[in-house]
Amino acid sequence: MRSDAITKGLERAPHRSLMKAMGYTNEELSRPLIGIGHAQNEIIPGHINLDKILEAVKTGVRMAGGTPISFGTIGVCDGVAMGHTGMKYSLASREIIADSVEIMGMAHPFDAMIMIPNCDKIVPGMLMAMLRLNIPALMVSGGPMLTGRFHGQDTHLVTVFEGIGKVKSGEMSEADLAELEDAACPGCGSCAGLFTANSMNCLTEALGLGLPGNGTIPAVDAARIRLAKHAGMAVMNLLEQNIRPRDIATRKAFENAMAVDMALGCSTNTVLHIPAIAKEAGVDLPLSTFNEVSGRVPHICSMIPGGVYSMQQLNDAGGVPTVMAELSRIKDTIDLNVMTSTGETVGENLKKARARAGNVIKSVDDPYHKIGGIAILTGNLAPDGSAVKQSAVSPAMLVHNGPARVYDSEEEAQEAILGGAINPGDVVVLRYLGPKGGPGMPEMLSPTAAIIGMGLGESVALLTDGRFSGGTQGACVGHISPEAALGGPIALLRDGDMVQINIPEHSLNVEVSDEELARRAAQWQAPPPKITKGYLARYAKMVTSGSTGAMLKE
């Protein structure tokens, strides 16, 4: 056992003495030591309840004969960080979380580990660390928030963002917005829709590193507490069988997760996180893989924000196991032989999948869309690729040509949108917001929600070398690479340039000749860095392209 390095033998008396200083008994030190990394805090709604999940996990570990030992990590709430300098730190926090878990797992030789995250960057950060350490481990999340109710309709965080634009356009009163603000987020949990947090929790389950139910059981359900106890017991089984994260997260497992990604219509942020997680597993997943999987996997769930169904309804319909069972009807779409954290294969797990209910999970023979939820676009405006959540794009905007309206900051673009300066047909371009230029590749939920709120969702597109919230809907193309800060073509755009977006053909181009683009490139000068000290300055120097997952250089 790894923990023998601090619990066994004459030379480890000082180590045992320090453990006993915290109240551990000889009996506890004789059992496997299970490290439990959690991100409980009082700034993220999805993490406020993680103390209860932690206690349940500890109970499960003890019931199965282990000794639980918890430690904490940081976490950023993307919603609270949105629209100000704090958003620059969100994606960058993923690497800090991965590194901090690695440090704790190496400095203290746990025999196995459980990770307890819930929200956007915390989930992939902890997954990256699990695969890097590669000791028996699994993940259990805190669960999704319930939707709120406002004037007889389901509501959630993004409806509040969109409400700002509705007030500006005269469609909603400020009094109604204040009422919506109180109703939209009714309690703890990761924001109520298939935004990034819930996308990643579902994909963790599909990948096999979380137990069935990890992605969809609501945060307030007793079933979530029972799941946490089962996770504590399951990790002891993984330890006994010596099943490690890289035994589970194989190439086939990642393809399973990507198939679920496409079927659900997950956040475009999965395009950043899946390659980064795969790299830690030693699996190469080029950006083109997303189009390959999307081409053969139908979109069978119409989830908030692009659709109407909530995470609670998806859970009631059978959740991720039922989605995978339905996809398995398509040959070579779901590999049933992949091992999972239950200690059984995907196929064995899916035998227990419940039948679907209603239209929440549609048949693969009658999908919402015949192709998956995410598309990768390339062209002279994005030579290295870009990403769009095509399942959340109006049919009228799948092909769009329009004049560029170019902004070098989110604040300028937001002012123009809410000020009525954007016209139907325009293509709003936000640049110098990539991994290096942002720095930190900030999310653009405020401008995209403003476009919807102003009634421009079916006539205006938005392009950026930054990224979007999982709550974004509409013709919003992000992750444009190379980014503007590196002199990519998006840096060369000018107001009035005609931009061509063709999502079905996976293309993104500007009607400017190669000669003219070369002339503009010769005149282009890199702007000075926006942040010159601290972690984010170091991050900007070390981060790679959004097309490769915005990972740090080796």
Cα 215 to Cα 508: distance, rounded to the nearest angstrom: 33
Dihedral pair phi/psi, residue 115, rounded to 5°:
-110, 135
Kindly tell me the burial class for residue 198, based on how many C-beta atoms sit within 10 Å of its own C-beta (0-12, 13-18, 19 or more). Answer: buried
Cα 270 to Cα 268: distance, rounded to the nearest angstrom: 5
User: Does residue 114 contact residue 36 with C-beta atoms inside 8 Å?
Assistant: yes
Cα 354 to Cα 321: distance, rounded to the nearest angstrom: 8
In single-letter form, the type of residue at position 387 comes to A
Cα 536 to Cα 540: distance, rounded to the nearest angstrom: 6
Cα 17 to Cα 33: distance, rounded to the nearest angstrom: 16
- Secondary structure of 300-353 in HEC code, one letter for each residue: CCCECCCCCECHHHHHHCCHHHHHHHHHCCCCCCCCCCCECCCCCEHHHHHCCC
User: Does residue 414 contact residue 450 with C-beta atoms inside 8 Å?
Assistant: yes
CB proximity list for 338: less than 8 A, separation 6 or greater: 208, 248, 250, 252, 253, 256, 345, 346
User: Does residue 197 contact residue 251 with C-beta atoms inside 8 Å?
Assistant: no
Q: Name the catalytic one among 100, 328, 386, 469.
A: 469
**What does 182-245 look like in DSSP terms, one character per residue?**
HHS--SSSB-SSSSHHHHHHHHHHHHTSB-TTTTTS-TTSHHHHHHHHHHHHHHHHHHHHT--H
Kindly tell me the burial class for residue 97, based on how many C-beta atoms sit within 10 Å of its own C-beta (0-12, 13-18, 19 or more). Answer: buried
What is the sign of the dihedral through the CA atoms of 207, 211, 213 and 216?
A: negative
What is the sign of the dihedral through the CA atoms of 270, 276, 277 and 282?
A: positive
Distances (CA, A) of 361 to 224, 325, 482: 22, 11, 37
Rounded to 10°, the helix 270-280/122-133 angle is 10
| 545 catalytic residue (yes or no) | no
Cα 71 to Cα 104: distance, rounded to the nearest angstrom: 8
Kindly tell me the burial class for residue 440, based on how many C-beta atoms sit within 10 Å of its own C-beta (0-12, 13-18, 19 or more). Answer: buried
Give the angle subtended at the CA of 91 by the CAs of 400 and 530, to the nearest 5°.
85
Q: Which residues are catalytic?
A: 469
